[in-house]
Structure 1
Amino acid sequence: MTPWFFGYGSLVNRATHNYPQAQHATLKGWRRVWVRTALRDVVFLSARPAEGHSIKGLIASVPGADWAALDLRETGYDRVDATHAVQHQAGASDIAVYQVPTDTQREGGDHHILLSYLDVVVQGFHREFGEAGAEHFFATTDGWNTSVYDDRAAPLYPRAQQLTKAERALTDRLLAQVQ
């Protein structure tokens, strides 16, 4: 049986990966959140259980059940079973989601959101779900009181993408609404 993963951040942007059979899905009973850890000075985008909530994203298959590359990409996260929480049309029966372990999270610190990372996430949601999808990302994510570091001129995020002027403006407009 081929396993699948649910992506709710940069994995929604197909330009950042080549996992096959990616398709829309919804993770029920979860919410996105920006979290701090001791691992780095930027925040991680994570997901946490939250009854009554749901988040949109993509599921994609992991060919040959070879998780190594994806686990490496998602360093700092635990892979947890989310099979019964994901609504989809793929027929997948083994679905994982990546979550920053609560015991590695911490409060405070001078952590920030990389704008180049946020741009990639918003670009992915916009391309997959339209403007309403980008708005959904912001509305279903907690932790917007975190500062944003503008690294667009020299992106620090390793999978940074080129954005159009309209895509940058969309990120800027939606970010201004939550900060």
Structure 2
Amino acid sequence: MKESYFFAYGSLVNRNTHQYADCSLARLHGWRRVWRHTNLRPIAYLTVEPDPCCEVDGLIAHVPNGDWSTLDYRESAYDRINIKHVISHPKLETINVAMYSLPNDKHSQPTGEQPVLLSYIDTVVQGYNREFGERGVENFFNTTSGWTAPILDDRQRPIYPRHQKLSPRETALIDANLRRIGNTPVNLSKGDSATWLGACA
């Protein structure tokens, strides 16, 4: 029986957000990350869409006993799809690899009412910095579309439930790349935190 693995291209790249220990660097071919909004969630999230000219770095991680229930619950807005034929990884044995993606009929462009959370970007980019270094962070921004989406600066009062504490160097790295792509996060208004926390619970 082939072992099951998932491919991480967003927050799951940050190993502090999950307990899957058997992780390896991997590359997805023919896809691109993109920010999207889904009516199943109150804020914008990352997904991937086909792009024959793009490659996405990330991690593969072993799913013990093929038990997807925990991941399926965490990624409940997404569909789990098989990608074993479009991914490169260091495993010598033949494995089954799946990833989570928002299908076209379940998402749309982010809006001011469904922004991207800076605490979510922080978590994702911290993971990429630890796995791929500063060049990998730059590549993350370059291989992700949808950066015209509004970004809500909730860094001081994080809304994203798996947010991580950043070092000053990590903070500066993320802010520098946001400036490079021309997106300035909008500050979280007083009183909004409780509203968004309730919506994201």
TM-superposed deviation, 1:169: 0.8
TM-superposed deviation, 1:175: 1.0
Give the match for residue 95 of structure 1.
97
Give the match for residue 173 of structure 1.
176
Structure 1 unaligned spans of 5+: none
Alignment of 1:51-66 (within 5 A): 51-66=52-67
TM-superposed deviation, 1:107: 3.8
Give the match for residue 43 of structure 1.
44
Output the CA distance in 1 between the equivalents of 2:70 and 2:101: 16
Q: Greater CA radius of gyration, 1 or 2?
A: 2
Output the CA distance in 1 between the equivalents of 2:117 and 2:141: 15
- Contact in 1 for aligned 2:36/2:110 (Cα 8 Å): no
CA RMSD of aligned residues (A): 1.1
Runs of 4 or more consecutive aligned structure 1 residues displaced over 3 Å after TM superposition: none
Output the CA distance in 2 between the equivalents of 1:140 and 1:52: 10
What amino acid maps onto 2:7 in structure 1?
Answer: F
Output the CA distance in 1 between the equivalents of 2:82 and 2:50: 12
Alignment of 1:103-114 (within 5 A): 103-107=105-109, 109-110=111-112, 111-114=114-117
- Contact in 2 for aligned 1:4/1:92 (Cα 8 Å): no
How many corresponding residue pairs? 179
What amino acid maps onto 1:46 in structure 2?
Answer: T
SS in 2 for 1:51: strand
Give the match for residue 119 of structure 1.
122
Q: What is the TM-score when the length of structure 1 is the normalising length?
A: 0.96
Give the match for residue 138 of structure 2.
135
SS in 2 for 1:159: coil
Structure 2 unaligned spans of 5+: 184-201
TM-superposed deviation, 1:92: 4.5
Query: Over residues 6-45 of structure 1, what are the superposed CA-to-partner deviations in whole Å (9 max), with x where a residue is unaligned?
Result: 0001111111111121010000000000011212331110
Q: Could you tell me the percent identity over the aligned residues?
A: 46
Query: Over residues 146-179 of structure 1, what are the superposed CA-to-partner deviations in whole Å (9 max), with x where a residue is unaligned?
Result: 0110111111111111110110111111011112
Q: What is the TM-score when the length of structure 2 is the normalising length?
A: 0.86
Query: Over residues 19-77 of structure 1, what are the superposed CA-to-partner deviations in whole Å (9 max), with x where a residue is unaligned?
Result: 12101000000000001121233111001111021000000010010100011111100
